Amino acid sequence: MSSSIDLPRRRDEEGDFHELLPVDCPDCGCTVFQAKDDPGLVWEPGTSWGDECRDKQCHCHESPLLGQRRS
Ligand SMILES: [Zn+2]
Ligand SMILES: [Zn+2]
């Protein structure tokens, strides 16, 4: 009976839409989004620090990936 949750959708750097799943950044605790169909693609928060951020100089803030693969 559960209706499917509407996941946020964003475009990757090639213009394809992906449904996003929130995951925690392992380094600072902020929310990073990962493509549901391709966990290698991530969207990092950039200057949107979370309340629980432990490191505002974390790579996800200093050089965020936006629909790109972590290298
Ligand atoms: Zn981080
Ligand atoms: Zn952070």
Q: 49 CA distance to ligand 2 centroid (A)?
A: 5
- Residue 1: its pLDDT value, please? 60
Q: Is 16 helix (H, G, I), strand (E, B) or coil?
A: coil
- Residues in a beta bridge with 22: 33
Model pLDDT for residues 43-62, shown as the tens digit of each residue:
999 999 999 999 999 999 99
Q: 1 CA distance to ligand 1 centroid (A)?
A: 36
Do residues 33 and 56 make contact, with C-beta atoms less than 8 angstroms apart?
A: no
Q: 3 CA distance to ligand 1 centroid (A)?
A: 32
Residue boundaries of the structural domains of the chain: 9-69
Do residues 68 and 41 make contact, with C-beta atoms less than 8 angstroms apart?
A: yes
pTM: 0.86
The whole-number average pLDDT for the span 27-39 is 96
Q: 56 CA distance to ligand 1 centroid (A)?
A: 7
Q: 27 CA distance to ligand 1 centroid (A)?
A: 5
